[in-house]
Structure 1
Amino acid sequence: MYKSCIFDLDGTIIDTIQSMTHSITLTVGRFGYAPLDEGHTKLFVGDGYRKLVERALLYSGDKDLVHYEEALQIYEKTFRENCLYKVKAYEGMPEFLNFLKDKGIKIGVLTNKGHERAVECVEAVYGKNYFDQIIGEGNGIRVKPDPAGAFLMADRFKLSPSQCLYFGDTNTDMKTGTNAGMDTVGVTWGFRDRQELEAFHPKYIISHPDEIRHVFE
């Protein structure tokens, strides 16, 4: 029986694609590049904001990344001002999280989003202190798919990795769970397609949170 559920943030518990698309578009626009659409942003996110900026610049035509360092600073400031832009919970997720809490299951968020922005975003959608733990990029925690953050959260919960179920929407998340020795759940409502998730053989693939409730009944 699982005693904890650890969730990725972007594309898993909160739909943040508009905030990131808006912020990265404003960033590359400072250098005269065209706006990015949500489809490309979904492909560029998942590995931290530095990779997002790098991928967006390369796609936009900055093949030598001459604007990279400046763009990082611009994006950090821009995203700080826009991280709550049109963010919302995914359908069925608030009800599922309440179900888990009623069952006494510990719930946590492990994300490559910067820690301060992660806390701000989660609290805006779900309220303060709703999750038992939130761990974002920073404070010496290596980004996913390194399992360090997953191990740290399991340790804070005083649980073994095998007692934790890890949820995410990208290959990075599937690797994270596997690297940490946790069973993984691939969610198809996020930023990547089912085919990408299947390639990493998660224990479960779901298209709505209700599809995993039976595991806790």
Structure 2
Amino acid sequence: MPALRAVIFDLDGTLVDSLGDIATAMNHALVQHGLPPHPEDAYLLFVGEGVARLAQRATGGAAPALQGEVLATYHAYYDAHLFDRTRAYPGVVGVLQALQADGVRLGVLSNKSDDFVKRLASRLLPGVAFTAVYGERPGIPRKPDPTAALALAEELGVAPGACGFVGDTSVDMDTARAAGMYGVGVTWGFRTAAELHAHGARAVVFTAEGLLAALRDAGR
């Protein structure tokens, strides 16, 4: 494969540690609607496939109407508490800036609501000139469907084979494989190295320095 000319990053669990704020907001919504809250670690398996699936899992598959009410309460609370505990993971801004200095084009693709993704990236990843930052948008399939990833690669001006895809879950690795991109899994996020390997990660890394090296070495 050619050296990478662009890299697409997942957001939650990859660039920013948002688990605490997500868990707090959803537990608030559950309690407001008479449902039991969950330990924060439970959300490691609840997240990754969009907010509707988060609500479905957190409510234990409650009736759709109740899921919708919980989701509306969650959204309102999360909107007001987006930055309470969420921070960029150590070293990731440096990785992004180093890639940018190398001339690599950068993008973000998340299953999180588009508005939240843009706000988080803008505040927590300063000094990074992303070509595009996208979350979940109406009419566009969520990851692991490759549609959004392929459209973003086109916007970045690169063929899929010259594009890296970095994430922390099976959803991200499945997206990379389906889009024909170079999938790199990070282990500081929400899932395990075993899951990342099982879903076809071309490389699995444990540190920000390891991530930069893996992306620079791809295709060499």
What TM bracket, shorter-length normalisation?
over 0.9
- Return the offset for 1:64: 4.4
The answer for the alignment partner of 1:35 in structure 2 is 37
Q: Tell me: CA distance 1:37–1:130, structure 2 relative to 1, closer, same or farther (3 Å).
A: farther
- Return the offset for 1:66: 5.5
The answer for the alignment partner of 1:52 in structure 2 is 54
The percentage of aligned residue pairs carrying the same residue is 31
TM-score normalised according to structure 1 size: 0.93
**Structure 1 residue 98 corresponds to structure 2 residue 97:** yes
Equivalent positions of 1:134-149 (< 5 A) are 134-149=133-148
Q: How many residues align?
A: 214
Query: Where does the alignment leave 5 or more consecutive residues of structure 2 unmatched?
Result: none
The answer for the alignment partner of 2:216 in structure 1 is 216
Q: Aligned partner of 1:216: which letter?
A: R
Question: RMSD across aligned C-alpha pairs, in angstroms?
Answer: 1.6
The answer for the alignment partner of 1:6 in structure 2 is 8
Q: Tell me: CA distance 1:66–1:136, structure 2 relative to 1, closer, same or farther (3 Å).
A: closer
The answer for the alignment partner of 1:197 in structure 2 is 196
The answer to whether the 8 Å contact 1:48/1:143 transfers is yes
The answer for the alignment partner of 1:185 in structure 2 is 184
The answer for the alignment partner of 2:167 in structure 1 is 168
SS of aligned partner of 2:184: strand
Query: Where does the alignment leave 5 or more consecutive residues of structure 1 unmatched?
Result: none
The answer to whether the 8 Å contact 2:9/2:109 transfers is yes
- Return the offset for 1:33: 2.7
SS of aligned partner of 1:67: helix
- 2-structure distance, mates of 1:157, 1:73: 34
**Structure 1 residue 116 corresponds to structure 2 residue 115:** yes
The answer to whether the 8 Å contact 2:56/2:62 transfers is no
